[in-house]
Amino acid sequence: MIRVVLPYHLRVLAGVQGELQLAVAGDVTQRSVLDALEAAYPVLRGAIRDYATQGRRPLLRFFACQQDISYEPPNAPLPDAVANGAEPLLIIGALAGG
């Protein structure tokens, strides 16, 4: 199972608490994980990836294994530790000052 951590507001929107676990068929990539996430929680469609472009929304980042993988191609394999469930994929909202 793939582990995914959502930011607070998306957990509220999806009605979930804590870390999610997703079954992902085939290669474990940003795209396949997000496809599985949106299939399980349709309310998240458009909230992480832009509807029109399917690109990452600009104020979100993807972290895994202490690395920012936001700029990796969507079809690139995620780190083995994410694929085997040892580490989560973190979806992070950008900091806002104030």
Partner 1 sequence: MSAVRLLVGTRKGAFILTSEAKRERWQIAGPFFGGWEIYHVKGSPADPNRLYASQSSSWFGQQIQRSNDGGENWAPTGNKFAYDGALETDQWYDGTQHPWEFKRVWHLEPSLTDPDAVYAGVEDAALFRTINGGQQWHELPGLRSAKGHLWQPGAGGMGLHTILLDPTNPSRMFIAISAAGAFRTDDAGQSWNPINQGLKSPFQLPDPAAEVGHCVHRIALHPSRPRVLFMQKHWDVMRSDNAGESWYEISGNLPTDFGFPIDVHAHEPETIYVVPVKSDSEHFPPEGKLRVYRSKTGGNEWEPLTKGLPQRDCYVNVLRDAMAVDTLDPCGVYFGTTGGQVYASASAGDRWAAIVRDLPAVLSVEAQALP
Contacting residues toward partner 1, per CB under 8 A: 7-10, 13, 43, 45-48, 50-52, 57, 59-60, 93-94
The nearest distance, CB 77 to partner 1, in angstroms, is 26
Nearer to partner 1, 16 or 60 (CB): 60
- Compare residues 39 and 59 and give the one whose CB is closer to partner 1: 59
Rounded Cα distance, 41 and 73, in Å: 23
Minimum Å gap between C-beta 98 and partner 1 is 11
- C-alpha distances (whole Å) from 66 to each of 2, 14, 48, 53, 79 are 17, 25, 20, 27, 11
Asked whether 6 and 16 are in contact (CB, 8 A), the reply is yes
* In the complex, minimum distance from the CB of residue 26 to partner 1, in angstroms, rounded to a whole number: 26
Among 77, 75, 10, smallest CA distance to 48 is for 10
Nearer to partner 1, 28 or 49 (CB): 49
